[in-house]
Structure 1
Amino acid sequence: MNSRGHSLFPAIVLILLAGVSVWLDRITRQDETVKVDKSLHEPDFTADKLTLRRYDLSGKTQYILVADRMIHYGDDESTELIRPRLDYLNRPEPVRMESDFATVSKDGETVVLIDNVFLKRAAQPDKPEATLRTERMTVWPDDERMRSDAPVTLTQGKTVIAAERMESDNIVGNIRLQGLVRGTLYRNTPTPKP
């Protein structure tokens, strides 16, 4: 009988070791699913002095987005930008857009500029500098389209136009002003032909 107890001893020790191993594994294992509290809207990461470059199919820089700070929220995949500046460079007339604040959609295709929105198109030999001011502007950077449902003020040289709303397509080159539109238009004096 004593020899039988000695033969079961290694099996009992192995069973105890296996049980202790399973128990230790269970108490030390962390929950593999991270539970996100959807009621909390807290940033999951931030970045300071952000610079993002977008290239066209030929490899030229299409635009550069710079912001003092970027804040990303994991609960809804939204992004906020503090003091964003967007420069369109791959065009004959460089354009700069800036504002105090902006939000970026989850897919990155829509940017909403908020507070002190300012756009400037550089002067060209045949065109004076043009600017636009508003408090809110939705921009689709890749399509070079924008829309404002807030009042806008456009200037080009001495010409000043104010409107209640605006839509623009920079690729096609048209601007549609809507609502009450008023302004003062100045024509360039044509150069006399010999």
Structure 2
Amino acid sequence: MSTARRGRFGLVTLILIGAMMALGSLWLLEVVRRAGVETARAVKRTEPDYYVDNFNYVRMAENGEAQYNISGKRLVHDPVTDTHLIDQPVVNSLSAERAPMSARADRARVDSNSDKVYLYDNVQLNRPASPKADYFHLDTDYLVMLTDEEIMETDRPVHMVIGKSILNGTGMKVNNATGELHLASRVHAVLPPKTATR
């Protein structure tokens, strides 16, 4: 073989080895990149993904009218359970057919569909007297509000004042749409005497 051919053969071999190393490096880089993307997808986020301070949220009914509003000191979204955690919540019903009702608590959790509101610690519910309903006040430490059905329930002790009546019990279910009230156990009631009619 001539010297020129040997030089060309060495140069071609060197270029081929360099090209193979470059392709191998690109392939290895792509494998590492894809593994990193898949690992990032596999890692679930456990920290809140957003929060709002001093907020006011209005839930609309299907007919376009305001159904209720929730305000609070801080709202935090939990991406793992897709729920909202609220500090110092205040829930106000905005029904045109019924007397307005307001609920307060130390904290709350709202599910992803916004149709269940869980109130925790120092829960107080108030409804002023109206021509259609007596004054209503409720104290408990846990309450579930099913907003679409207008139902409130708890399995914990409750203290209620309805008009001039005082009710205590453990476990309660109230249907605000029908006006039904059910106390489950350990019920104690103080009812005012009926006024005489002539």
C-alpha distance after superposition, 1:55-104 (max 9, x if no partner): 11210000111121123333444442211111110233111111111233
Q: With structure 2 as the length reference, what TM-score do the two structures score? A: 0.78
Q: Does structure 1 conserve the Cα–Cα contact (< 8 Å) formed by 2:88 and 2:104?
A: yes
Scaled by the length of structure 1, the TM-score of the pair is: 0.79
Q: 1:178 aligns with which of 181, 184, 194?
A: 184
Aligned residue pairs, count: 190
Contact 1:36–1:75 at 8 Å: present in 2 too?
no
Is the radius of gyration larger for structure 1 or structure 2?
2
Instruction: Give 1:21 shift.
Output: 2.5
Match of 1:154 among 160, 164, 188: 160
Distance 2:136 2:12 in 1: 95
User: 19-28 vs 45-54, which deviates more?
Assistant: 19-28
Identity %: 27
SS at structure 1 position matched to 2:62 = coil
Over the residues paired in the alignment, what is the CA RMSD in angstroms? 3.0
Query: What's the offset of the Cα at 1:119?
Result: 0.7
State the Cα distance separating 1:26 from its structure 2 match: 4.3
> Which residue of structure 1 lines up, in the alignment, with residue 72 of structure 2?
67
Q: Name the CA distance, whole Å, in 2 between partners of 1:116 and 1:102.
A: 11
What 5-or-longer segments of structure 2 have no aligned partner? none
In the alignment, which residue of structure 2 is the partner of 1:136?
A: 142
Offset, 1:161: 1.7
Indicate yes or no: 2:172 matched with 1:166: yes
Q: Distance in 2 between matches of 1:84 and 1:48?
A: 12
1:96 aligned residue (71, 77, 102): 102
Greater share of helix: 2
Matches for 1:18-97 after TM superposition, within 5 Å: 18-27=23-32, 30-34=36-40, 35-36=42-43, 42-91=47-96, 92-97=98-103
Matched, 1:122 2:97: no
Change in 2 beyond 3 A, CA 1:46/1:190: farther
| Contact 2:99–2:133, Cα closer than 8 Å, also in 1 | no
> For residue 48 of structure 2, what is the amino acid of its counterpart?
P
Distance (Å, rounded) in 2 between the aligned partners of 1:139 and 1:106: 14
CA separation of 1:129 and 1:190: change in aligned 2, threshold 3 A: farther
